Structure 1
Amino acid sequence: MNARERLVASAQDLLWERGYGGTSPKAIQERAGAGQGSMYHHFAGKAELAVAALSRTAEAERERAEAVLGGDGSALERITAYLRRERPALRGCPIGRHAADPDLVADPALRAPIEETFAWLRGRLAALVASGQRDGELREGPDPDAIAAAVVAIVQGGYVLARASGSQRSFDDAIEGAVQLVAALAR
């Protein structure tokens, strides 16, 4: 891995662990095994590196979600598989944790990968719900966009509950509740 890649990977890890304000350029350089000159050769500063790291994290999360949402099965099966996908809940969501970082959300460039990822996920889930409704698998009537927003909110809330309780079980309970709510849409 070249220095640029090591810097981005290190920034990804540190941003998830410490947040934007708690992640110094020096800490990124140390973890990456790269010097200051190397960092500033590849990036104009911490913010530009953070955008690259957040964008990479967002892309990876979209790929993980799409692997399930775009897989085989009915709309309900794919949404359920997305919900039940294994996640390290006690670490928090790789994207959602950043939405609670005041330094990060205050900057439109830093916030953009987070906004784009949640917008993509909501759109992808809404399209699946709408498809299930058109195919007669899911009841017509409930708004696909509202269902998608609720699914995303439950997953993110599950992370918060898990971190607050120190228990994966809190996350799992929230997910099981979401699975039951979505299953109630079936015909």
Structure 2
Amino acid sequence: MDTAERLIESTRALLWERGYTGTSPKAIQQRAGAGQGSMYHHFTGKPDLALAAIRRTAREMRAKAEELFSAPGTAVERVTAYLHRERDVLKGCPIGRLTQDPEIMADAELRAPVGETLDWLRERLAKLLAEGRGRGELSAALDPARTAATIVATLQGGYVLARAAGSVEPFDQAIAGVLGLLAAHAGPR
């Protein structure tokens, strides 16, 4: 892995662990095993490096989700697979956590990939649910856009509840609850 890659990967890890405010250039350099000169050779500063790290995290999250959303199966099966995929629940969502960082939210450029990723997730889920409704897998009464927003809000809220409790149990309960709501809208196959 070259220096620029080590810097990006170190920044990604630190942003997830500490947030933007708690991630210093010195901490990034130490974790990456890179000097200050190397960091500023590849990036104009912490915001530029953070933006590269956030964009990569967002791209990877979308790719992992899309892999599950595009898999064979009913809409509910694919949403279930996405919600049950392996995650580090107690660390939280690497994108969702950034919404709690005031410096990220105050900077339009840093905030953009965060908002775009959450928007993409809602839109992709809505499309998947609409597909399921169109195939008769889900009730015509189900509103895909509102249901997608509910799923994303439940997922992000589940992370918060789990972190506050120091246990994955509240997350698992939230996911089971939203899947129960979806099951209530299941149509005949």
TM category, shorter: over 0.9
SS in 1 for 2:12: helix
Contact 2:155/2:175, CA 8 A, preserved across alignment: yes
Tell me which amino acid in the other structure corresponds to 2:144. P
Query: TM-score scaled to structure 2, two decimals?
Result: 0.97
Post-superposition offset of 1:151: 0.2
C-alpha RMSD over aligned residues: 0.8
Structure 2 runs not aligned, ≥5 long: none
Deviation readout 1:81-108 (Å, 9 max, x if unpaired): 1111121110111111101111111101
Post-superposition offset of 1:52: 0.2
Deviation readout 1:127-181 (Å, 9 max, x if unpaired): 0111111111111122211100000000000000000000011111111111111
For 2:103 and 2:27, locate their aligned partners in 1 and report how far apart those are by CA, in whole Å: 17
Tell me which amino acid in the other structure corresponds to 2:75. A
Pair 1:4 & 2:4 matched: yes
Pair 1:153 & 2:145 matched: no
Contact 2:68/2:82, CA 8 A, preserved across alignment: yes
4+ residue segments displaced more than 4 Å: none
Query: TM-score scaled to structure 1, two decimals?
Result: 0.98
Structure 1 runs not aligned, ≥5 long: none
Partner of 1:91: 91
Partner of 2:22: 22
For 2:53 and 2:165, locate their aligned partners in 1 and report how far apart those are by CA, in whole Å: 29
Tell me which amino acid in the other structure corresponds to 1:82. Y
Post-superposition offset of 1:2: 0.3
- Name the % identity: 59
Equivalences, count: 187
Partner of 1:81: 81
Partner of 1:102: 102
Pair 1:43 & 2:43 matched: yes
